[in-house]
Chain A
């Protein structure tokens, strides 16, 4: 079946501009995660959705970052007034459920990522 898809695959924007990054999760997956991977680093958590609601946005670096998932499927990560430090690969992952029993981690399936470059 179809995996997690992300668009665009590459985005180049000028400092100060607004960008939107899209994630299409695996059908039926209610949990959706955004991560950011800077060069030479591992992915870092940004935000978690369970259904339509952002259940945990503690990883968003500041208020220029916002994400939505209005119908509980597709999610959009929005970055306002982009800065050069925002350049990174933005990864989306989905899992069947985010809420499991004790020590019951549902596998997260990752998309290919969007490489954002702010010039």
Chain B
């Protein structure tokens, strides 16, 4: 079945540091890839997505590129802020059982950014 493996945390960085959170996947078919973020006390929010190979998703300074050859979708940001402190989830969506685009998530990576 489908699975997502992401870098285990926690990750602690200083403000303005460079961030990479690794994510690799296993899927049948041709999945779409996502990064979701969960800020403290809030629900899951879509951060960015990519639907085909070599697509780059970007939002709020974060980027991730869909690499089919390495089955990866690593999250990067050039300069993190304290407000980026959150749990980040890598996920994939593939068609399952007719019309079900269920999401398969990684375990999440806790990021803490210190001033």
Report which A residues bind B (CB closer than 8 A): 4, 31, 33, 35, 40-45, 48, 50, 55-56, 58-59, 91, 93, 95, 98-100, 103-108, 110-113
Contact = CB atoms under 8 A, between A and B. Distances in A.
Contacts of B108: 40-42
A91 B44 contact: yes
A112 B42 contact: yes
Max chain A CB contacts within 10 Å: which of B46, B102, B107?
A: B102
Interface size class of B (residues with CB under 8 A): 20 to 34
A107 B104 CA distance: 14
Interface in B90-112: 91, 93, 96-108
A56 B52 CA distance: 25
Contact of B89 (A42, A59, A108): A42
A105 B96 contact: no
